[in-house]
Structure 1
């Protein structure tokens, strides 16, 4: 069969030539369609469910929101695991599916079960929503919106956020391949009715009266139409609130003397902002607004980034004067670094292969003919990569070995050359004609084709175990094996068709051959080989024994080498996990970010800019509390560095410089690496030690002990012990017997408390297409002290108002900060990054220390995750 293909190729050179031209043309086109990224997307196949509940603490969020959703989704076919995160005001549930489950089918199943879960969630406590269809590699473009120099006083944080939400975000959502845009930082504009508690008391009205008045005076309606002769006139009322004056003039009630009591008589009506759970800083200058652009799952990041940049260019023309959009994390940088490394290595490898081929074959034509298989096999591989959905990245393209690709071609070309120069059948003929050349190539190629085929089959067998890998390992390494297999398949086809045809056409037809440098070199090597081989064969036992000894030595060395999943990819920038004391407000975290930025910009010329992302964004897929931030350190090109030569060295020096900031901790990682860790294991660190158990206080106690053990382990850096308790909270505990005396129920009191301090939306105010919530809450000066909560007036059924402290104990207590669960089991994390050691050895050492020094109660256990897992 193979011999017939070779014979056909040589006798039908035009057909094979057209085939090669088609391969070059179509392959070049497919290169433009190949998805390009830095690394394979190893994120689990997952659906995230987000529920925002500003009025509930972590235990109530877990009990009332998280648990029902977990239970409702626990029996979906193809389910792998469920992870959940509950903290004040937020429930985030990550539902992980097997890799072969269609993500849109999975989302449909989750959506159907959310309807069942909502029946168990008390009314008014939030509505569960699905996060965008994106992955760990989905955050492809991040930017800030800030006022240009000279315009700082014109645009405050509220105006910058409004520009982001209603100008920038709306236009970016229309970009092909964008799943969503999560706004970050700034202040969300609201129309605020800040109620004066003293005036409420003096006029004998409640905050609920204010809320009801606003709700009843903000709406349009219609009255069908009236007929006037042969036409109709549609009836439409315009009662929507348009501005602050409209709000001020709304009547709450009429006094005893008939005078209307207006909103403006009891409240300050103004432009305010929503309660903040996140923020953003720019360098050491102050607050900014911004966003994260999320790419659809399985999108082509290069194309999507290109589309986003083009749209940003258009958006910039529509921005108000003095406002700038400035990207700070652009996946293009990481992709270019990775692909640049691959391209450089491939080019160097190709040049080395060509040099070796020419050197050992001793013939320029033969060397370049064999080398031409490299680009042609690459084009074939690209076509197959697109066909099977394999992206071009560091793993897939970096695995190509040109020496393997040209193996079959070398065997055939060398056989043809040897046959021409060493055969005696041509006698004294100096040169053969084309037909004789064709016959000689057919004979030589057919004779050696079996050797070439078996050689390439053996190479492919080496990669077969990789195809059996599943999960994260499969996602990381299968593209490598697939790309090599595609390239070898292409090289095999070319060895059967292209190489014999081109050998017959372009190799020299001269039979006479003078020895050249390559011939003399090969003779020398062959003679040396024969000489030493003959000597070695006299001592078979010694040789076999030496090989066995070397084998066991290599096994011993290998067992002590340690290991890690993959080497860290230098992404070009740092993501620094920043933490301040539990319970700190946004202002404290902002101050820590600004101080860190000031130090980094002053001491390290490598730093281009520093962006602080505090707390959670509008789409809280990364649910950080207010006392946490991701500090994005954007670095200049490595050629411009002066403070250090490597990323670990620079991270070490920066970490030492930031130790001068009191009350804050900083952990250095790369942005995508951090996001991968978080989405795959729920922790941002390289290694996460999870303690599972029931009681939160017990978990916190043993986590501190485990943290101490980690701290005494060489190579463990940026140690983080999750804080799940110790959050100061104002706790209201009702006195039911006294409530009964006043005819009060808990629901009514909860509504007053929630409206007064969290604020309740009584409707919306429209500004053309923009819409903003109309919120009722107590004035800011009455929402600062414990006494403000204790003295909150509660209306009774008798028409009087009493302070809250009469029907409840109001105290400041330490309570639960956050609760995380894996497969419905509570757990706490002790995480750390690894520097100066491999992950395998440090975890092995840590496991030994934990088994020896940490005795957990019955039912409690430790599990190790992160990149180690």
Structure 2
């Protein structure tokens, strides 16, 4: 009686009759229709958690030199901040370099954190999207010596808490020798930068640090009546500082440190002239009882399961899904990188979480 029902019955009644007369033909048609879904399904991709538009970007560049000075870091930070502020979509820019004196902040001086607050999208130029804006910023910040990492504040913190990485994807290489880990990291970095979908790839430098090594000559020190502990006490006080007392102001406590001023400890030559007090009351230069030199060493040590690690941070281009990217990267690494037998390679980040949830 319902006109809509009569129209629907008129449409599906011939289909039902045809299916009953040729059931095998209908089965073949159904299988062919199902097979056509493979092409879009194969290119659909996958990721653990789709990104949300927070209205704010977190820019975290990393310098290629892990031993960058405070002055150089400040100069680079100001340069990147000025470039970001030139975009009309940007409201404010706030960057920081270094870290607080806490074990929960492991960012080295070579990694910056810059929060880019964006204007309301209604104030953006016509046709501008978040992906386009990020790509334009990445092109403008193509500074030699910097590897760019882009994320969003909340998403970046969630990634750090769940995976320990500043980027959604990364590689962990485990081994025993720092030089070999550094070489493997450089090789992986080179290969990953050529994989389609990679915006930037950065291998953390496990070497490249600079250290002042002071070796006490026991024979020379004994001539002046000094022991190794006497020389080390001067080194500790002059360079590291020694807490003499604690100043109390109400409920606040302030440690009082004693050490040489910066101009007397910022170069090897001035440290050589540091005076060591002898039991006789004389003052002799530190260079007369110790050998001072600058040596290279690890900038930072990371370990997992009692094995040294090297990390490769991977930042993907906007719109690249992790599920499709990782197989391409694995194939490229298998062709170009020869991993020694005592070393391991594992994918970490959101891909690891995806595998655990599968």
Q: Report the TM-score, using the length of structure 1 for normalisation.
A: 0.39
The residue aligned with 2:201 is: 719
Q: Which runs of 5+ in 1 are unaligned?
A: 1-514
Q: Where does 1:351-500 land on structure 2 (aligned, <5 Å)?
A: none
**Could you say if the C-alpha distance between residues 740 and 679 of structure 1 is closer, same or farther in structure 2, counting changes exceeding 3 Å?**
farther
Q: 1:806 to 1:601 in 2, by over 3 A?
A: same
Name the SS for the 2:230 alignment partner: helix
Corresponding residue for 1:587? Answer: 71
What is the Cα deviation at residue 665 of structure 1?
Answer: 3.3
The question of 1:734 aligning with 2:229 is answered no
Report the Cα offset of residue 763 of structure 1. Answer: 1.6
| Offset of residue 699 of structure 1 | 0.3
Partner Cα distance (2:215, 2:33) in 1? 74
Q: Name the residue aligned to 1:524.
A: 7
Matched, 1:773 2:255: yes
Aligned match of 2:245: 763
Cα distance change on mapping 1:671 and 1:560 into 2, 3 Å: same
Distance in 2 between the 1:735 and 1:547 partners?
87
Distance verdict in 2 for CA 1:802–1:570, change over 3 Å? same
Cα 1:825–1:676 shift into 2, 3 Å: farther
Answer yes or no: is 1:821 the counterpart of 2:303: yes
- When residues 827 and 785 of structure 1 are mapped into structure 2, their CA distance, relative to the original with a 3 A threshold, is same
Aligned partners of 2:185, 2:106: CA distance in 1, in Å? 21
Q: Determine which of 284, 287, 294 is the counterpart of 1:805.
A: 287
CA-CA distance at 1:798 after TM superposition: 4.1
Any idea what the Cα deviations from partners look like across 1:205-253, whole Å, max 9, x if unmatched?
Answer: xxxxxxxxxxxxxxxxxxxxxxxxxxxxxxxxxxxxxxxxxxxxxxxxx
Q: Residue 611 of structure 1: which of 84, 91, 94 is its match?
A: 94
User: Does the CA contact (< 8 Å) of 1:615 and 1:623 recur in 2?
Assistant: no
Partner Cα separation in structure 1 for residue 345 and residue 326 of structure 2 = 12
Q: Is 1:844 matched up with 2:327?
A: yes
Answering whether residue 176 of structure 2 is matched by residue 694 of structure 1, we say yes
Q: How far does the alpha carbon of each residue in 1:61-103 deviate from its partner, in whole angstroms, 9 at most, with x for none?
A: xxxxxxxxxxxxxxxxxxxxxxxxxxxxxxxxxxxxxxxxxxx
SS in 1 for 2:61: strand
Match of 2:344 in 1: 861
Counterparts of 1:525-604 in structure 2 under 5 Å? 525-555=8-38, 557-580=40-63, 581-602=65-86, 604=87
CA distance in 1, matches of 2:78, 2:311: 28
Task: Work out whether residues 99 and 105 of structure 2, in 8 Å CA contact, stay in contact via their aligned partners in 1.
Answer: yes
Q: For the aligned residues, what is the CA RMSD?
A: 2.2
In structure 2, the residue matched to 1:709 is 191
> 1:16-35 alignment to 2 at 5 Å?
none
Deviation string for 1:449-494 (max 9, x for gaps)? xxxxxxxxxxxxxxxxxxxxxxxxxxxxxxxxxxxxxxxxxxxxxx
In structure 1, the residue matched to 2:356 is none
How do 1:296-311 and structure 2 match up within 5 A? none
Deviation per CA, 1:344-394: give whole Å up to 9, x if none.
xxxxxxxxxxxxxxxxxxxxxxxxxxxxxxxxxxxxxxxxxxxxxxxxxxx
- Does the residue aligned with 1:819 lie in a helix, a strand or coil? coil
Instruction: Output aligned runs, 1:173-252, within 5 Å.
Output: none
Partner of 1:773: helix, strand, or coil?
strand
**Aligned length in residues:** 350
Per-residue CA deviation, residues 664-699 of structure 1 (Å, 9 max, x unaligned), is 332211112222222333321121111110011110
Q: Is the 8 A contact 1:592 1:664 kept in 2?
A: no
CA distance in 2, matches of 1:644, 1:719: 29
Could you tell me how far apart the structure 1 residues matched to 2:153 and 2:4 are? 52
Distance 1:787 1:655, change over 3 A: same
Could you tell me how far apart the structure 2 residues matched to 1:521 and 1:829 are?
64
Partners of 1:674 and 1:685 within 8 A in 2: yes
Please say if 1:792 is aligned against 2:274. yes
Shift of 1:740: 4.0
Quote the offset at 1:644 in angstroms. 6.0
Identify the structure with bigger relative contact order (alpha carbons < 8 Å, sequence gap 6+).
2
- In 1, the alpha carbon distance for the partners of 2:320 and 2:243 equals 54
- Are the aligned partners of 2:189 and 2:202 in contact in 1 as well (CA < 8 Å)? yes
Distance 1:662 1:644, change over 3 A: farther
Q: Distance in 2 between matches of 1:561 and 1:743?
A: 77
Q: Secondary structure at the match of 2:139?
A: helix
* Pairing 1:652–2:141 present: no
Are 2:239 and 1:754 aligned?
no
With over 3 angstroms needed to count, the CA separation of the structure-2 counterparts of 1:754 and 1:567, relative to structure 1, is same
SS of the aligned residue for 1:689 comes to: strand
Distance in 2 of aligned mates of 1:564 and 1:844 = 13
Whether the 8 Å CA contact 1:744–1:796 is kept in 2: the answer is yes
**Cα separation, 2, equivalents of 1:809 and 1:681:** 44
Cα distance change on mapping 1:807 and 1:749 into 2, 3 Å: same
Confirm or deny: 8 A CA contact 1:743 1:797 kept in the other structure: yes
- The alpha-carbon distance between structure 1 residues 553 and 524, as it changes in their structure 2 partners (threshold 3 A), is closer
How far apart, CA to CA, are the structure 2 residues paired with 1:577 and 1:643?
A: 28
Question: What is the distance in 1 between the residues matched to 2:68 and 2:56?
Answer: 27
For residues 123-162 of structure 1, the aligned pairs below 5 Å read: none
